[in-house]
Amino acid sequence: MLAGATTSWREQYPSLGYVAPFVTLLLLIAIPKSPPYIYWEWPLQVLVVSLVCLLTWPAGISLRPIRWLASAAIGAFVFCLWIGPELIDSEYRHSWLFSNAIMGHVGSSLRPEALKSGSVLFWRSVRAATVVPLAEELFWRAWLMRRVTNHDFQKVPLGTYSPIAFWLTAVLFGAEHGPYWDVGLVTGVLYNFWMIRSKSLGDCVVMHAVTNLLLSIYVIVYAQWQYWQ
């Protein structure tokens, strides 16, 4: 065998580390939510997605935030954007523009009995503030924005700006949030902007985690379960 002929799986499948955690999370979410799964689906998702991240983490990608304070501030601002429309108009989200057959309808995916479980609420919040930011930032901003820019995305530095990649990622990110597509789109624009500005996956994860943590606290304290789709 010629020297240097052996390649690692990371070299053969460079996208795997960016895509696998996100796909794993989607598959786990797709499992029917029926007893007793509703009580252990959240710790299972945290454990499995964390394990996939650990096993497939892309080489050379750091999670160390550079501007953690600014990242946290942007995350808090995005949280305000999420709850703002319904604080101003409680019927806003029930318009046909947001609640329809294509984008889905406003309402929690959690069963009523699950909402009474402290364990469910705790692990649902942990998932929102940990593995969701990791999986989504790896996929949307560390991979897709670069992959749309260049098929050989590893040649594209994190935070490289491309109009097509920027807006396509923002639109798809918004669509992922169903009836909350409008604030999802604005969030996608802000998150994309911060990736371009910070050029740091760690900062984007901090930003996303702060948004999700504050939203989870708000959901539990004020019983606004509709935000937990």
The predicted-structure confidence for 157-200, as pLDDT tens digits, reads as follows 999 999 999 999 999 999 999 999 999 999 999 999 999 999 99
pLDDT of residue 6: 55
Domain layout of the chain by residue ranges:
9-227
pTM of the model: 0.92
Angle between helices 201-222 and 118-129 (to 10 degrees): 150
Least confident of 22-36, 80-94, 126-140, 155-169: 22-36
Residue 200 burial (CB < 10 Å; 0-12/13-18/19+)? buried
